Structure 1
Amino acid sequence: MSQVQTTAPRGDIRTASRWFGALILPIGPAAIALLRYLLPYDTVDDPATITSKMLAHPGRASLVLWLAFVGVLTLVPGAYFVARLIRQRAPLLTALSLLLVVPGYLALPWMTSTDIFTWSGGQAGLDAASITRVAEATHGSVGVAGVVFVVGHVLGTVLLGSALWRSRMVPRWAAVATAISQPIHFIAAIILVSHTLDLVGWGLQAAGFAAVGWVILRLRDDEWEPLP
């Protein structure tokens, strides 16, 4: 007669996995929220204006690049942990959201490449006109990455918030906050051009993801990942 295992096997990392997921979830959106608030230029500025504003504020531009680096490292794992929690309750919406947000987040390094060059050019003592000419001659993949990023992270996050709502595993406010966060970001970045509103938009996603993390922390290990 087989015995039921009542203790976790050696090497069980399920508790560590839950804690890691809960802690990393809000970091990416929070980092981008601060980035968008501190950005020394507006998204709708032309290359010459962007260059002049970045050269005028090199310290802030450097901090923005560090925040972007944090986002690159944490946004995709955060989306994975959200999906892991809700995929059985809302499989289709979860899958569709990941198909959009993951490529969108992975395009972020391409989006920051021009800013990295602009900052580096300023530190190297290049004049603003030369930096602008190079910035205007970016590779075509940067433009494609921009489309992938905008469509992926805006529409994908709306679907992810909808999946959270459908799953009924998180508070309703967290699902709504996630769903509306990136439309608010888009309005703030392109239409109203408000860094404060942009902070609110990404901050709502950070708050929604933090709520998801709290739910993950409260799960038992067997609920998070049953033993075979």
Structure 2
Amino acid sequence: MAHSHQLNQQIAADPAYRLVQRVCLAACIVLAPVVLFLGFAVDPTGGLGVPANLQGVAASLKGVSPLQIQGFLYLNAVTVYFFAPSFVGLGLLAMRRSPWLATAGMIFGLAGSLPFGIFVPLEALAFRAAASASTAAVFQSVDAQGSLLLLGGSWVVGHLVGYILIGMALLRSRAIPWWAASLFIVAVPFQAAGYGTRQNMLQLICFVLIFIGSLPAALAMLKGRDEAAPLT
């Protein structure tokens, strides 16, 4: 009850634009791991990865409905709209007491989340190439471009390092409970292991942990704990 009363007082005292900012950032903080979890959950390749192996993709697509493929692509398409702002919101929470770690976490997080949208056309092309040998050469040519390798590496390194730095910043700043901040760090090895072993379950565990840690962070954002204290 006390938390609810304090939150209502904070909302009533704030200008409308600050309320909109905080609500949007809080929503992104919570929805980012949800959208990522759903994307990995409906991945038609079952964690094989696209475009890692066209032969494996072709085998995994047998029996997969077109609706599941479209759902996977649409989830990945909207991910960037929640994922990138979530790093901004998490970084702002820790900015007052841990500015350098928070800034570094946001930079790495943005470097990892902003390229996410580029994977959607590659995935769509990979699914088409896996079903038709005539388009496989085109896919291989596109996928081999150095710029795409750069963006892929940026995604992997950026969001993993970003979560570690953000977790450290939140721990140091005490903007949220220590256990919630720790979950951002604890989740990273599951995601990294998921890439190495191509086990979707590990990636799902990662974003469940991120989601749990994000709930107190979103509440802190709504309460305005990211804002500087007024000058006296």
Determine whether 1:37 maps to 2:44: no
SS at match of 2:26: helix
SS at match of 1:107: helix
Determine whether 1:20 maps to 2:27: no
* Residue matched to 2:216: 211
Q: 1:207 to 1:8 in 2, by over 3 A?
A: closer
* Residue matched to 1:141: 147
Q: Given the two structures, how large is their TM-score scaled by the length of structure 1?
A: 0.83
Is the contact between residue 28 and residue 70 of structure 1 (CA under 8 Å) also seen in structure 2?
A: no
Question: Using the alignment, how far apart are the partners of 1:127 and 1:87 within structure 2?
Answer: 48
- Superposed structure 1 runs of 4+ greater than 4 Å apart: 225-228
> Sequence identity of aligned pairs in percent?
23
Q: 2:84 aligns with which of 55, 69, 76?
A: 76
Is the contact between residue 29 and residue 202 of structure 1 (CA under 8 Å) also seen in structure 2?
A: yes
* Residue matched to 1:67: 75
How far off its partner does 1:116 sit?
2.1
**For structure 2, which runs of at least 5 residues remain unmatched after alignment?**
1-11
Determine whether 1:167 maps to 2:170: no
* Residue matched to 1:3: none
Aligned residues: 214
* Residue matched to 2:4: none
Is the contact between residue 87 and residue 105 of structure 2 (CA under 8 Å) also seen in structure 1?
A: no
- 1:76-108 alpha-carbon deviations (Å, 9 max, x no partner): 111111111111111111111122110111111
Question: Using the alignment, how far apart are the partners of 1:156 and 1:25 within structure 2?
Answer: 14
* Residue matched to 2:54: 47
* Residue matched to 1:128: 132
Is the contact between residue 44 and residue 61 of structure 2 (CA under 8 Å) also seen in structure 1?
A: yes
**For structure 1, which runs of at least 5 residues remain unmatched after alignment?**
1-6
